Amino acid sequence: MSQIKSRKDTVQRPTLELERFLPYRLNVLAALSSEGVARLYSRRFGISIPEWRIVATLGESDRLTAHAIGGHSHMHKTKVSRAVGDLISRGLVRREINKRDLREAFLTLTPSGRAVYEAIAPLALSYEARLVEGLSEADRLAVERAISALTVRSRALLDQIKTEQNGESEPASSPDQIA
Amino acid sequence: MSQIKSRKDTVQRPTLELERFLPYRLNVLAALSSEGVARLYSRRFGISIPEWRIVATLGESDRLTAHAIGGHSHMHKTKVSRAVGDLISRGLVRREINKRDLREAFLTLTPSGRAVYEAIAPLALSYEARLVEGLSEADRLAVERAISALTVRSRALLDQIKTEQNGESEPASSPDQIA
DNA sequence: TCGCAATGGTTGCATTCGCAACTATTGCGA
DNA sequence: TCGCAATAGTTGCGAATGCAACCATTGCGA
């Protein structure tokens, strides 16, 4: 794991090799796998990745606010806002203002929206299945565990770094941010 | 692993839960971990992620062409081009045209560039170390293995999907692309 | 040796992105 | 009850992104 190479007779110089650097490798893998899934639906259904995330989120648990979708799918609220606007204009999502709180609105899939979800979900699942095809069962489980753990850890480290940088004060958040 | 839920008495309906969907989880994790590292250097050294990737690549093996950097760091050639231009204008990288082939140029870190590399590399490595701190040794190895395997597999699937979509012809590549 | 395809790299342009600022509404403490 | 802080969501705007087109140079086959 450690990339620190000690060479005889020379001062130990920690060299970083990008190809072995975990965050870098995760990025490459994430980009590749995302592009793969995206290609399965983007062209055919004219749907972007953020749009798909919204459709998928609504497909699981209908009637969510934009805020909830953002939290659930880890997307910036502006991205959610614009993608939702687009989906509404194309008749895939319906917006219904919450009469209890006029600031927010509930979003639901229209029948066409649900049809799109039902069509794409199996494609995505089979893609995932093909992706992990070569892994041993043990490795699959290890990956599941590790991803969860690393995600939690990343979030913690990030918050920590943020607070360190934010002049050592505040609850780690500028005006908006966080999400 | 499988997200297929079978419910008693109802037709088995494969539902996709974003939170469990591997490409999605990888994206969240990759974004979080990248932001973490980036925060360690971006503010302090005024360096962006693409710029850091270039510096890191050159730091490992000096004297590379832009093309080689792109291949090594999986960045689009336009991204490399612009980031390199920026690094040169800031005196961190030096460009030297290859007299054997006037189309390409060799890039090297200047002393200041190397200093930046030497400063950031340990930060990045220690970040990585803190990231995987909680994982068991077995899980670390499993993750290493799995990331490699999944990356290879993703690439293969992507190529396959591309050829399927490109009218079933061509060596899976439009004018430029690939990288 | 000539000409054309391929390659390294840059640039124009449209799209995407996210931060900051803003509006509208609600919650809450004085 | 008044007023201010917090929240949901939208929008302006600059920066980043990637594709397509382009330039310059080289390789290679006729």
Task: List pLDDT tens digits, range A142-175.
Answer: 999 999 999 999 988 888 887 777 654 444 444 4
What mean pLDDT do residues B142-154 have? 93
Quote the pTM value: 0.86
pLDDT computed for residue A159 by the predictor: 81
B94, containing H or E segment: strand B93-97
Cα gap A48→B179, rounded to integer Å: 22
**Nearest nt to the B71 alpha carbon by C1':** C8
A170, containing H or E segment: none
Beta bridge partners of B62: none
Nearest chain A Cα to B165, which residue? A39
Count helices and strands in chain A by DSSP H and E runs = 6, 3
Q: Which of B159, B11, B151, B16 is nearest to A126 (CA)?
A: B16
B 54-73: CB within 7 Å of strand C = 65-68, 70
| A114 pLDDT higher than 50 | yes
- In the structure, what pLDDT confidence band is assigned to residue A97 with cuts at 50, 70 and 90? very high
What mean pLDDT do residues A107-134 have? 95
Residue A64 Cα, gap to closest chain B Cα (Å): 15
pLDDT computed for residue A98 by the predictor: 95
Q: Would you give the end-to-end CA distance of chain A in angstroms?
A: 32
Tens digit of each residue's pLDDT (9 = 90 or more) over B103-129: 999 999 999 999 999 999 999 999 999
The mean predicted confidence, pLDDT, of chain B is 85
- DSSP symbol at B95: E
Query: What are the residues whose beta carbons fall under 8 Å from the beta carbon of A130, sequence distance 6 or more?
Result: B153, B157
Number of CB pairs < 8 Å for A and B?
Answer: 211
What mean pLDDT do residues A84-108 have? 96
* Residue A113 CA from chain centroid, whole number: 21
What mean pLDDT do residues B4-21 have? 62
Whether residue B159 contacts residue B170, with contact meaning beta carbons closer than 8 Å, is answered with: no
- In the structure, what pLDDT confidence band is assigned to residue A125 with cuts at 50, 70 and 90? very high
Cα gap A178→A165, rounded to integer Å: 15
A70 CA → D17 C1’, Å:
23
Whether residue B113 contacts residue B55, with contact meaning beta carbons closer than 8 Å, is answered with: yes
pLDDT computed for residue B175 by the predictor: 39
Whether residue A147 contacts residue B151, with contact meaning beta carbons closer than 8 Å, is answered with: no
Residues 26-45 on B with a CB inside 8 Å of A are 26-37, 39-40, 43
| Top mean-pLDDT range of A11-15, B11-15, B137-141, B166-170 | B137-141
Beta bridge partners of B93: B109
Cα gap B77→B70, rounded to integer Å: 6
Evaluate if the CB of B75 falls below 7 Å from strand C.
no
Whether residue A33 contacts residue B26, with contact meaning beta carbons closer than 8 Å, is answered with: yes
Backbone angles phi, psi at B115, to 5 degrees: -60, -45
Q: What number of other Cβ atoms are within 10 A of residue B14's Cβ?
A: 15
Cα gap A51→B67, rounded to integer Å: 34
pLDDT computed for residue B13 by the predictor: 53
| B89 pLDDT higher than 80 | yes
Cα gap A57→A68, rounded to integer Å: 9
Cα gap B49→B29, rounded to integer Å: 16
Cα gap B157→B163, rounded to integer Å: 10
* Residue B14 CA from chain centroid, whole number: 32
Residue B105 Cα, gap to closest chain A Cα (Å): 22
pLDDT computed for residue B3 by the predictor: 52
| A85 pLDDT higher than 70 | yes
Say if residue B133 is exposed, middle or buried (CB neighbours under 10 Å; 0-12, 13-18, 19+): exposed
pLDDT computed for residue B61 by the predictor: 85
What mean pLDDT do residues B23-43 have? 92
What mean pLDDT do residues A71-79 have? 93
* Residue B92 CA from chain centroid, whole number: 21
- In the structure, what pLDDT confidence band is assigned to residue A25 with cuts at 50, 70 and 90? very high
pLDDT computed for residue B117 by the predictor: 95
Cα gap B80→B75, rounded to integer Å: 6
What mean pLDDT do residues B67-86 have? 94
| B178 pLDDT higher than 80 | no
- Considering only CB atoms, which chain A residues are within 8 Å of B19? 72
| B12 pLDDT higher than 90 | no
pLDDT computed for residue A166 by the predictor: 60
| A41 pLDDT higher than 50 | yes
| A14 pLDDT higher than 70 | no
The mean predicted confidence, pLDDT, of chain A is 85
Smallest Cβ–Cβ distance between A143 and the set B4, B17, B142 belongs to B142
